[in-house]
Amino acid sequence: MEALLFDFLKVTELAAIASKPWVGSGDKIAADDAATTAMRRQLNAMNMQGTIVIGEGEIDEAPMLYIGENVGTGRGGPAIDIAVDPIEGTTPTVNGQPNAITVIAAAPKGTLLHAPDMYMKKLAVGPRAKGKINIEASLEDNMIAVAKAQNKKISDLTVFIQQRPRHQEYIDEIRDIGANVHLFNDGDVIYATSTCMEDLNIDMFFGIGGAPEGVLGAVAVRCLGGEMQAKLIPRNETEIERCLEMGITNPNEALSHSQLVQTDECIFAATGITANLFLNGIKTGNGNYLTHSILVNGKDQQLHYIESMHQILETA
């Protein structure tokens, strides 16, 4: 796995570069297609036996990295589970707004949650509050536990939650308890990961969003020493059946961090498309692209910020 660390970084860098021309374009499909095509090309050049275990859903007419897709040369190399989002934040990408990244996570085969593209409730904290949270408990109980772990008053807690109608009751509850709610529009993975970056002073991430983003965030948080718990939210019998088909025998159970990602032998890479809390967006000039990325693996739990200059040659 560690031998492929910089290969996975290149996957996100090239996907971000491919999406750059579509920043501000308003064309979501073209942006997604560009990033997905670049990701697939690079993944298929890697000497591994990779499988997308959670991502864009089932195969259909649109190009995508779909659940169950095999990637890599297949000629030797490790067998790897991959979670992927070619563009986390397609809307901000095509609107020229902050909080767009390309992101990938990987771990040995059989160690990442294999689940449909569906809704998931998520709760994440940094290393100081690891072992103190319980997604089945009330928000108030979790906030009390996190405040104690952080040696803070409830009134000093900062909780990030996505600004969506489905979250209004949680937003009201957090404020009623006395903590500070910071809302964001896009960037689920960004804000889950940011709980583990002490300089950002984010105590908790909570909300309901996509399961692929949940697994991606879980890998990042594990790599950085924090904790994430989650719970799938099936909306109908079809989603329940898909869970059962994919080996999830109880789709309604709370998922511990070790059920989301079972090993410290995991990799997380993300490259900024537009600027966000901890990454700069792509900068261009003189035919060059300057990318800003993070790269981390669970074994050393060290966060690496990487700037790379890419010269893109025009082809006829």
> Per the annotation, where are the binding residues for substrate?
88-90, 119, 164-166, 186-188, 210
CA 82/CA 80 separation, integer angstroms: 6
Residue closest to 39 by CA, chosen among 108, 107, 101: 101
Mark the binding-site residues, compressed into ranges.
Answer: 32, 56, 85, 88-90, 119, 164-166, 186-188, 210, 213
Strand arrangement of the beta sheet that strand 204-210 belongs to: 180-184, 158-162, 204-210, 119-125, 227-232, 254-255
Amino acid at 61: E
Residue closest to 34 by CA, chosen among 57, 56, 16, 9: 16
Mark the binding-site residues for Mn(2+), compressed into ranges.
Answer: 32, 56, 85, 88, 213
In this structure, the chain runs to a length of 316
What SS3 class is residue 41? helix
CA 273/CA 178 separation, integer angstroms: 35
